[in-house]
Chains A and B, each alone.
Chain A
Amino acid sequence: MLDLFDDKVVSVDYNRDQGFLTGLGIDTADKKKNGDEAKTGKYTGGKGGDYEIVGSQATQGAEDGGRTAMETLLSKNPNINVVYTINEPAAAGAYEALKSAGKEKDVLVVSIDGGCAGVNNVKSGVIGATAQQYPVKMAELGVKAIVEIAKTGKKPANSEGLDFFNTGVALVTDKAADGVTSITTAEASQMCWGK
């Protein structure tokens, strides 16, 4: 688990980390605390199975931190096969560490954001899959909602089954897995943000 900070606790840090684990079907214990889940056990997502979490490291969300964090975790356990990263720069750094250890083919790196640089990295195989978000859409819908509130006083309704308004996320990968909805990097490149 390559997280964000070691000097502050922020919601984006634990929400992403714990969201990833929840998706795998791992009990996260305290939802607002990284690294307090059971280190070994069974996961229920997909086909289910045994898991072991080697550790959580901070990356500062950047390449150098990602690389150092990945190296440290590989030192701890060289058999890592899945790496969660807080964002795509950290994922790129992790990939460098895996490459220098000769493990880039054996390990699946997943990430979050779906910026254009990140999508490119998915395309070139640096990142296995990334969850793409749509900041432009968020902003558009957000401003529309504010205008709506100002005009009519009507608040936007929460998305079904959630306690917030979902602006949408798509999993970007060129190696689609059965039973998981995903889009390809070609599609994602059309919608990505940043350069």
Chain B
Amino acid sequence: MTQQQTAGPPTGVADLAEEFLDRQTPLSRIRNILHRYPALSPAIVLLVSVIVFGLLNDRFLRVENLSLITQQVAVVGTLAIAQTLIILTAGIDLSVGAVMILSSMVVAQLAVNNGVPAPLALLAGLLVGLGAGALNGFLVTRFRLPPFIVTLGTLNIFIALTLLYSNGATVRGSAMPGMLTWTGSTFLLGPVRISTGVVLMLLLYIAVAFILGKTAWGRHVYAVGDDKEAARLAGIAVNRVLMSVYLAAGAVLAVGAWIQIGRTNAASPNTGVDLNLDSITAVVIGGTSLFGGRGSIWGTLLGALIVGVFRNGLSLAGLDVLYQTLAVGILIILAVSIDQWIRKVKS
């Protein structure tokens, strides 16, 4: 153990080495840019895929078709907002679709079978969403169970509750008050047909983007997902942040339930079985890291659109459905690989 640090030469060498390491190759510069703007890579993928599918089939770029794609992603896009919030905290929610369906069944049955006024029925749906979020959040924070396991359990619980409550029966939209199916109504904006559900989804994106980007709560969500211990030591009440994230996600899911009722003009216990995983797909393709703390809500919207565009574009190009699933699978792997590569950024 020497007390003296030799001055001069070693530091000089270190300086040189550092300079050498700082010199960026074009590839690492791209990586740094992608790292700084997590929504950039999905934006590029979306742009390229739209162009390619447009070249493959001239019907793809028609306004009607593009409008349909937005309507098709409205429900999964909304669920993906909830999923993004949870994944940003390094969690995962396998139960989003099940919560959404349970909420939609409660809303529809209360309104149709129990004669509850539509606004109150929707409020009850919101309470179902919040309750489900509270249960997930409680189990994650109090019992310190991994979110994957918690939501795997609650997924089954919510599916069972839905079927028990609804007897497996579909409530048809024609029997519902107009307010419940309002989210399925459309209007023309110039040549583009837009559904109210899509507008609702976009409003949610704007609200959540604002909250995540501009408030202390948003910053704490990122900090908790980034490094839970660091966040705790910085004085952030980690469990409170986590709980609020699951509650917020539950509220978003209730809105998703409303959009779903409008979209299918029905509340059916059989819908949305794939939405649990599809929402994760959208988030991952949107560039949000499953390890938490990194990602953007706009990336998720792009991710949902990419999946919609791929499914639609591949169908129009005449590809068999099994190959569409294959393509989405490849897309996920690519997205995660790119995420891993981007995360290696260090100076």
Query: Contact residues of A with B, CB < 8 Å?
Result: 3, 6-7, 9, 35, 55-58, 60-65, 67-68, 71-73, 75-76, 89, 92-93, 96, 100, 117, 124, 194-195
Contacts and interface: CB of A to CB of B under 8 A. Distances in A.
Interface stretch (B137-145, B321-329, B335-343): B321-329
Contacts of B316: 72, 75-76
A6 B65 CA distance: 21
Given A65-B271, A89-B268, A195-B169, 12 more contacts: A6-B321, A6-B322, A7-B325, A55-B315, A64-B272, A67-B263, A67-B264, A68-B72, A72-B68, A75-B62, A76-B315, A100-B186
A44 to B, nearest CB: 25
A76 B264 CA distance: 21
Given A72-B311, A72-B315, A89-B270, A56 B320 contact: yes
B308 to A, nearest CB: 9
Contact of A93 (B62, B264, B320, B324): B264
Contacts, number: 86
Contact of B170 (A55, A67, A117): A117
B33 to A, nearest CB: 35
B321 A58 contact: yes
Contacts of A100: 186
Contacts of A58: 321
Nearest to B169: A195
Given A67-B264, A117-B169, A117-B170, A60 B64 contact: no
Contacts of A3: 321
Contacts of A67: 263-264
A68 B320 CA distance: 16
Contacts of A195: 167, 169
Contacts of B64: 75
Interface residues of B, number: 39
Contact of B321 (A56, A63, A71, A117): A56
B186 A92 contact: no
Contacts of B311: 68, 72
- B59, B75, B315, B316: residue with the most chain A Cβ atoms closer than 10 Å: B315
B274 interface: yes
A96 B75 contact: no
B136 interface: no
Contact of A92 (B60, B266, B325): B266
18 contacts: A3-B321, A6-B325, A7-B325, A35-B321, A58-B321, A60-B274, A62-B270, A62-B272, A64-B263, A67-B263, A75-B59, A75-B62, A75-B68, A76-B57, A92-B172, A92-B266, A93-B264, A124-B174
